[in-house]
Structure 1
């Protein structure tokens, strides 16, 4: 059996990633970068698929980043060139916000072009830039690799233009980029997490008012373990949009203007008017809003056992009522649940948009290595796929490195 050290995925530290991206920029463009920025991915402890339903979410920025290095292009160039190091692909993108129109443009370019368009719409002229970037945020794992790319792009544009955007404006600009250019009608959680993240804190985000309440998370005896099922997912295949539409139609039939004004009694009293899927989605939304606020209170009070129960309930609802889990995610949660209190597991659930990706597990620090061994061995035995595991503390949000 592999040792826990081999199973625990250790990514480059942020300083190491910064050094490598700087060196790559100089190799690709023949000059050192003028600007270097970083933006993190995120993991959501609880509060899934309710950020676009006026709910509460409880994410944190993770110690996995997109790092971008950029410099001003030669005067003869009118487009910016973005180079993805790990994907070894280029995109030449308009700095006037023009939409993508090249059939061979790599898929990641739509997120970057969307931010360029949004930044141009603020009235700030954009210089043509030579940019390269790389990431330690797992792709397609529900850890917001796309939001990290968007926020890194916006932060680079701030550095290159000497502009400082209001933080909410910056997050919303990046959200709009994902809506308009990637076709994903996401809520605000991913971009807000990458922009507003702070070390040592979870972020209770009110997705209706956009107010943020810091929830300290500094207990060394508890570790947050992220396990990637290594089942990839794409959220622009219609599943995400379908569920958002079902939530909207259910809310309209219930006759309320916001899910925050809906209780389960309201859902039950309108059950005859709701389709089966609408009833299920409504049940999840109402329950998940309640679970998230209770989890934040429990963490603040140190009641971790209660947090674990809420995490399991969240996963069950996402699997049964919202139907965004999959057999691999259910298996990972069941494996953690079976280890249970005796093995130091506090709670576990899928995290992110679903249809693959990651689980997040609260585990006692001194049993984390044994849990990793168990998850990897049993998951691989049943699926033939080896998951990857890593731990993370709450990390700082987007910032200019140079």
Structure 2
């Protein structure tokens, strides 16, 4: 409906979370196109907050659309490079790679029909494709060389210059970061665990911003989190807040924060709320924890009460 009726080129992450989420858990999913992998308990010593930047975003906006187009362009370029490598490997008596020849050929063949960018591992991207991807590309130049970006819900503007490398790189590394985050969340409790989880959120945030999907408000909130984090490091042995990232479609919206589940952490969140209002004039709404989706919560039926004298 959103893709073809509303015209918003979004995925299904928000819809799946709203339907399948559970309280005090994170939802693991793969959007290929929509598969729930399970739920991950949020450890008792960890807490998540959402801080609203007050900046409205829209996945139907020009920024989101252009970044999606850039990502699909990047996938098409990677496919083309992989098929070129596959052709060379198939016709030659060997290629200069660490893998055995047969396995190397199979990898190129699979990458030549890559369905989702996140299925390409970061090390393969860096070793073979990253430096060959253009930083950006005009729509007409792309169409002349590749004919189609094979995205059913966006159209390439021939006159527009699309960012390609950052948009393609983001899902490749984001998938790795999500897997690392899930593994760390279930690891032994330690300061290193929290620091690493927070660092992954920061990396997510700056990768999204590099695509062009950041905003002044969300960047300001993330900066405030960092200021609180680094000030505490010099004054207290126990940390409070450890990381933050922009969420959803970007270009505004809410920032997700991870921290220690403690009263002091909540006090720091309120301090950030006050400082953001002082800087922007907007008092952000704060969300805490996770809540049940429609599958657990159910729904409320709102019925109009008709006065008895009208019956």
Structures share fold, TM-score greater than 0.5? yes
**Where does residue 202 of structure 2 map in the other structure?**
312
The answer (yes or no) to whether the contact 2:135–2:166 under 8 Å persists in 1 is: no
**Where does residue 354 of structure 1 map in the other structure?**
250
The 3 A distance-change label for structure 1 pair 359 and 273 is closer
Taking the aligned partners of 2:23 and 2:61, their CA distance within structure 1 comes to 34
Deviations 1:61-111 (A, max 9, x none): xxxxxxxxxxxxxxxxxxxxxxxxxxxxxxxxxxxxxxxxxxxxxxxxxxx
Deviations 1:172-213 (A, max 9, x none): xxxxx1112211111121111122222332111112263323
Relative to the length of structure 2, the TM-score reads 0.66
Taking the aligned partners of 2:185 and 2:30, their CA distance within structure 1 comes to 17
**Where does residue 89 of structure 2 map in the other structure?**
none
**Where does residue 175 of structure 2 map in the other structure?**
289
The answer (yes or no) to whether the contact 1:305–1:346 under 8 Å persists in 2 is: yes
How far is the alpha carbon of 1:295 from its aligned partner? 0.6
- Whichever of the two has the greater Rg, that structure is 2
The 3 A distance-change label for structure 1 pair 358 and 223 is same
Secondary structure, aligned partner of 1:208: coil
State the aligned residue count.
225
Q: Which has the higher contact order (CA 8 A, sep 6+)?
A: 2
How far is the alpha carbon of 1:242 from its aligned partner? 1.4
Relative to the length of structure 1, the TM-score reads 0.52
Taking the aligned partners of 2:23 and 2:7, their CA distance within structure 1 comes to 31
In the TM superposition, what are the counterparts of 1:117-266 in structure 2 within 5 Å? 177-208=1-32, 210-255=34-79, 256=112, 257-258=114-115, 259=117, 260-261=119-120, 263=122, 264-265=125-126, 266=128
Determine which structure has the larger strand proportion and give its number: 1
Taking the aligned partners of 1:379 and 1:278, their CA distance within structure 2 comes to 33
| Structural RMSD (CA) | 2.2
Taking the aligned partners of 1:393 and 1:195, their CA distance within structure 2 comes to 13
Determine which structure has the larger helix proportion and give its number: 2
Deviations 1:344-379 (A, max 9, x none): 002111111111111010122222331123212221
1:390 and 2:279 aligned: no
Taking the aligned partners of 1:400 and 1:357, their CA distance within structure 2 comes to 25
Gaps of 5+ in 2: 80-111, 138-161, 233-238, 302-311
Of 267, 282, 287, the residue aligned with 2:129 is: 267
In the TM superposition, what are the counterparts of 1:8-87 in structure 2 within 5 Å? none
Gaps of 5+ in 1: 1-176
